[in-house]
Chains A and B, each alone.
Chain A
Amino acid sequence: MLNEQNRNCNCMNNTINLTTDDSNMSSCECDNFNKTMYEMLENIKCLNFAIVELGLYLDTHPDDEKALCLHRKYCKEYRELTDKYQKVYGPLTIQFPCNKWRWIEEPWPWERGNF
């Protein structure tokens, strides 16, 4: 379990480093609006990964209290962060209500440069 926990913690740290390295990529990304968006997205990806990884681990170790506790913590952070992100930058899932239909806004995840 210790290894699992370390892996997740490293993942969080790596991503935070990655986002600071990204700041000099292209002119439009220097824009504060986009920079915050990238940072938030990186953190969302990171939390999402930690939740997926803990989910698989808990499937075969359902009684591991430490893992369960981490899963709860990351789920809470994920919910708060995605809520904040979606209110400003548009929906990440179709379950997020919009006044204007922003789901069709580009770029999609496979399109270069933004994700």
Chain B
Amino acid sequence: MWTYNKILQYPINIKCTDPRLAKVIISQYGGPDGELAASLRYLSQRFGMPDQTSKAILNDIGTEELAHLEMVGTIVHQLTKNASIEEIEAAGLGAYYTDHGVDVYPQSASGVPFSASVLACKGDAIANLQEDLAAEQKARATYEKLIDLCRDNPDVVEPLRFLRAREVVHFQRFGEALRGVQDKLSEKKFHMNSDLFLNGKNNNCMFQ
């Protein structure tokens, strides 16, 4: 289970409203490489991991991504709160305002609502961890593009830089977890679907 901590992981105090930036940053809330996708990806994949390291790392990084989701939502909220209708229109957020007002809705920068189709649970620890490594790199690349776009607003750039740095650390940890899983799978008598064996079903395990 989870317990809410009534603090942000990194302080966010944006002094100037700027809905133009909110329009692009929202991609890291509900876009294809965003924090919602990241947390759901890792927290769903953790059930099928074969060793204690990969279970723990997916659990803990998935949890940290929830804190990042809150940070990105906070940035979007602070950039749009009290924005005038003219500012919202000028930012190209007229369509968004029609459907969501200034609520924070999980969608990509191009307006596509969040979909679980941006993540995979392949039933294969190696495939899953490789996807996680790629996901961290894509998120890092997205943050770098956002930092370029927000260059004139240091209140926004600072938390984005923090979030970018976390992607790099997560990539490192996933790499270490992947090496552990590869070692585990190369052990001679490890059965990926051991519960199927116990049920007496005939299953040709590739690691036997």
Contacts and interface: CB of A to CB of B under 8 A. Distances in A.
A41 interface: yes
A113 to B, nearest CB: 6
Interface string B169-205: 1100100110010000000000000000000000000
B5 A92 contact: yes
Contacts of A57: 173
Contacts of A94: 3-4
Interface residues of A, number: 27
A109 B60 contact: no
Contacts of A42: 11
A43 B197 CA distance: 51
A115 to B, nearest CB: 5
B3 A110 contact: no
Interface string B19-57: 000000000000000000000000000000000010011
A59 B9 contact: no
A93 B60 contact: no
Contacts, number: 75
B57 to A, nearest CB: 5
Interface in A57-115: 57, 59-62, 91-95, 103, 108-110, 112-113, 115
A48 interface: yes
Contacts of B12: 110, 115
A49 B170 CA distance: 14
A16 interface: no
Contact of B6 (A53, A108, A112): A108
Interface of B: 3-14, 53, 56-57, 60-61, 64, 70, 73-74, 77-78, 81, 169-170, 173, 176-177, 180
5 contacts: A56-B61, A57-B173, A59-B177, A94-B3, A112-B14
Given A48-B9, A53-B169, A56-B57, 17 more contacts: A45-B10, A49-B10, A52-B9, A56-B60, A59-B60, A59-B177, A60-B53, A60-B176, A61-B176, A62-B53, A93-B3, A94-B3, A95-B3, A109-B8, A110-B70, A110-B77, A113-B13
